[in-house]
Each structure stands twice: as C-alpha cells, then as structure tokens.
A and B are shown apart, each in its own frame.
Chain A
Amino acid sequence: MRETTLTRVLTSGPVLKVIPAVVFLGLWEVGANWKDSLLIPNASTTIRSTFELVQRGETWEAMWISNQSLLLGFGMAVLTGIPSGLLMGRVRAIEKMADVWMNVLVVLPMAMLMPVIIMSLGFDLRARSLVVLLFAYPMVAVNARAGVREVPTDLIEMSRSFGAGEAQLWRKILLPAAAPAIWTGLRVGLGRAITGMILAELLLVSVGIGRLLQLYKGTFQPGNTYAIVAIVVAESLVLMAVVRRLEHRLVPWANDDAFSRT
C-alpha cells in the first residue's frame, strides 16, 4: 500500500489504539438509540452518569466498603498462598498429596460456596473477605508452586555443589528464579480477588458497590447501572496496571507469555 500521510497517521500507535474504542462507542450510541429500551442506556448517557457518580461521595464510600474486603482477603491470600505454593513446589511429597485438591480448587466455581459461607460466618466483612480469599488463593498458590518447580535443576545442583544450605538456596536461587511466576500468580490472583469482591456483594450481602449496583438496577437507572460497571472495570484496570508496573520493576527479566497460566 502506498504510504500516504493519511495511512501513516492512521497506522501510528496512538491513533490505532483509539479506533476500536471510537467505533465501539459509535455503534453503541446508534444501537441503543435505535433499540430504545428502558434498560439500555446509550453511550453518551453512560459517560455522563459515570462522571456524575465519580463526583458523589456516596460512590467513594461504597468503593471503600467494598475494597476493605479486597484488601483483607487478597492480603490473606498472598500470606497463605505464596508460602504454601512454595512449599508444594519444593517438597514433592506435599505436592503429590495436595495436587488433587489444588486442581479441584482451581476449577471450582467458588461462587457456589457463597451460601455456605453465609451460613457459617454471617454477612459481615469477615465473610466477604473469606470469599475474596477463596477466589484468590488457588491462583497465587499454583503459580508459586509452578515457579519453584520450574527452577532448572542445574541451578540447584550447582549451588549445592558450592555448599549452599537450604536457607541460602531459597534466598539466592529459588526465590529469585520463582519470582516472575509468583508475580504472575499475584496478578491473576488479584483479578480473581476483584471478581470475588463483586460476587460477594451481588450474591451475599448488599453493601458497597454491589449495593449501589442492585439499587440502580432496581430503580431503573440504566445510566447509573452501566456507570457502576464502568467504574469497577476502571478500578480493576488501574490495580492491574499498578501490579504490572511493580512487576516490571521488580522482576524485569520475566517474559510476557505469562498469559498461558491465566
């Protein structure tokens, strides 16, 4: 194709990235207006509602309430997941025993266990945090385990032959080598944790963002409903971006096909 200025601008990075968003918003606007349903807001209404909601104190209060469970639950997941994952990766016997249950945990739709959690713990922050923990733990642990398992045997044997004890082995070889995988686990686990946070509020008890969502849905405020969705997605993107940034800084030698462990 002959390179005109127009094609060059069109195929430049920033412009290219914006095109799908523009096309999508355009189609949405036209589609929603044409369909004219009470429940489906068009793009412009959604955008306006989002700006409005972001300015309301109520929204931020709700975000804080919701995120408390995220903080506690994900924090616990990291504190339990990484050590247990590392242990499973290092000690074959433990791994073999735990393997079946880890597979089940990864595949289990945690959402179904929620009612069991209500019955045992009630409706409070503890219960919601537990949900977040359950959602995030498997991914954190499994990736930590994989990280340790995939450390090349020669590295370990090499350090043994230089007289390294177990503690040194961990500090100098196993942890650095497993670090990229651990970070992948953190990243994916965080995504799951956010899902847990939302689900807990939609299924378990109406507080925070979940409550707002139900409220706007129930009172037929489609613009605000979609706006909440957008806000949650935005928070998730921001959190993920933060983790990725940290990841690049702390484990710059990691490569990007961590996707296959998602």
Chain B
Amino acid sequence: MSVGPDTAMSELGLKPAIEGRPTSVPSAPVLLPDSRGQRWASLAVRVCTADGFYNLVSLVGGLLLWEIIARVFERPYLPAFTSVVDRLWELIRSGEILGDLSRSVQNLGLGFAFAAVLGVVVGTLMGRYAVIEKMLDPYVYALMTAPTVVFTPVYFSIFGLQRWAIVALIVQYSIFVIIVNTVTAVKTVDRELVEMASVFGAREHQRITKIVLPAALPLIMAGMRLGMGRAVKGMINGELLIAVVGLGATSEGFARAFDAEGVFAVLLVVVFVALAATKLVELVDRKVNAWLPNSQR
C-alpha cells in the first residue's frame, strides 16, 4: 500500500511506542447500561486493555514457561518454580530466612540512611557553590562509574567480617547517584524564588532550608529511588563476598552446596525486598511532594 499524508497510523499496523503509558481505555459504548451482561463486557474490555493486565499475563506466562522447561529438562541448576516456592515456604517456616531477612534489611536501612543524608548534604553544597562542584565533580563521577564491588577487600580489611563492611559498601554503591541527582535538583531551582527570599531578608542557611531544599525535593527523591536500587545491589554483593549471616551469605551457602533450589528461593526474597524497598521510597516521594503545607515550621 502506498503511504501518503492521509494514512492513519493504525492502517500501517504499527503503533509507535512513543507516548507515555496510556491509562486504561474507557469502556466500550454500552447499549443497555442496566444489562448485567453489558456491564461485565465493559469491565472485561477495561481489564484487558489496562497495562496491569499485560504485566500480569506476562508474569504468569513467564513463570509457566519456567515451570514447563524445568520439568521437561530436569536439570539440577534449573529447579521448577513450584518447588522453589515450596522450598521458600519451608525456609520461612523454619525461621531461617526471616533472621537473614531482618539482618539484611537492617544493613540496607543503615547504609541507605547514611548515603541519603550525606548524599543530599554533599549534593546541595555542590549545587550551590560552583567551587565545591568543580572540586568534587571528577571524583563523584569516577567513583560512580567504577565497579564498586572491587572495593570489597578494602572494606573487609578495615572492618573485618562485621556488618560495617557491608554498610560501607552499601553507602558507596548508592551515595553517588544520590549526589548527582541532588546537584541537578539544586541547580534547577527557580532562581527568582531564591532572589525573592533574599529580598525578604533570608540569609544563606534560610535560603537553603526554606527555598532550595523544598523546591529541589522532587528531583532529590528521584535520586533516592535510584539510590535504593543501587543499595540493594550493594547489600547483596557485599553479603555474597563478605558476610556470614544475611540473605547473601545464606545464598552463597546454598551455592557452595550446589543447592540451586535454595539459591532461587533466596533470590525470590531478594527480588521482593528490592521491589518493596523501591516502593517504599516511591510512597515517601508521593507524600512529600504533594506540596504539603509545612505548617510545622
């Protein structure tokens, strides 16, 4: 077919995946709104065209595929999804995994908290004062792109097998992404807003706390989300290499025993932790950026 100025996109059979995610399509026109059948039909249309639907189908489909392949090929390194779930349930019941989970999450929390606070402070200083930015920028960039995992022996030598080695690694994993996003956030604060504050008598520390930080918060939170993802990676990598307890350590234990089922079971927990932690940051983000009237001041 010839393509001309009037060819509709849909006629070409290709929908460019450009636009942002569409929200669910409104239901098909209903002829008899009171008819039960019609209502179910429109609900079905709504469900089938929603994004979440595809996610679910894809997820279930993938897991199904995993199950089938595992059962057909029966390899020691590819346990079936159902047996992994069984194993996980066992581990939960024995309490083993919960102890690890708590330990790992504590490390994660400590490391991330430290990285968040220090990261925002450094990022704000760099964003506000060009001298500091010029000075620190090459190091921030270098450390952000270098393979952080290679520093594990360094932290091991300083802290030994204690949790602080892992916490330090987590800090290094997440802090630079937070710093970089904070710098951007601070630099893009509306200059006129800061000027206004000066006019009304704000001194530098007031400008920062009352104008710059609130204005920069959305982008800072974006950095936090990315930082949390990195922090989880750091937690795992650190624990695989250093720790004696914790999710990573347990997984490594299973690995050495060639217990693939165990490894996958822990993996499920880790994925869950990662998703939950990121979701948590998202929730905080949404709450903080609903432009709360900060009347506690």
Contacts and interface: CB of A to CB of B under 8 A. Distances in A.
Q: Do chains A and B touch in the complex (CB under 8 A)?
A: yes
A109 B222 CA distance: 21
Contact of A88 (B2, B17, B61, B254): B17
B199 interface: no
Given A92-B17, A100-B62, A112-B270, A199 B154 contact: no
A67 to B, nearest CB: 13
B77 A112 contact: no
Interface string A5-36: 00000010100110111000000000000000
A222 interface: yes
B274 interface: yes
B237 A199 contact: yes
Interface stretch (B28-36, B201-209, B225-233): B225-233
B218 to A, nearest CB: 12
A11 B131 contact: yes
A13 B136 CA distance: 11
Contacts of A259: 177, 180-181, 184
Interface in A177-223: 187, 191, 194-195, 197-199, 202-203, 213, 217, 222
A167 interface: no
Contacts of A99: 54-55, 58
A113 B267 contact: yes
A259 B230 CA distance: 14
Contact of A111 (B16, B59, B236): B236
Interface string A58-91: 0000000000000000000000000000001111
Interface stretch (A49-57, A233-241, A245-253): A233-241
A46 to B, nearest CB: 10
Interface string B175-186: 001001100100
A39 interface: yes
Contact of A222 (B15, B77, B157): B157
B58 A101 contact: yes
B58 A40 contact: no
Size category, A interface: 35 or more
Which of A11, A107, A109, A153 is the most central at the interface, judged by chain B CB atoms within 10 Å of its CB?
A: A109
Nearest to A31: B158
B153 interface: yes
Which of A16, A118, A222 is the most central at the interface, judged by chain B CB atoms within 10 Å of its CB?
A: A16
Nearest to A202: B241
Given A100-B55, A153-B18, A232-B147, A109 B134 contact: no
A116 B260 contact: yes
Contact of B236 (A89, A109, A198): A109
Contacts of B138: 17
Given A17-B134, A100-B55, A202-B241, A191 B147 contact: yes
Nearest to B223: A260
A163 B4 contact: yes
Contacts of B72: none
Interface string A100-132: 110010111101111111111000000000000
Interface string B143-166: 011111111111011100000000
A166 interface: yes
Contacts of A151: 16, 18
A91 B54 CA distance: 14
A116 B263 CA distance: 8
8 contacts: A17-B135, A95-B17, A99-B54, A108-B274, A119-B260, A187-B145, A202-B152, A203-B252
Given A109-B236, A203-B240, 15 more contacts: A21-B139, A39-B157, A96-B51, A100-B58, A101-B58, A108-B274, A111-B236, A115-B252, A119-B76, A120-B75, A149-B18, A156-B16, A163-B3, A225-B157, A259-B180
Closest 4 CB pairs of A and B: A115-B255, A119-B77, A109-B236, A39-B157
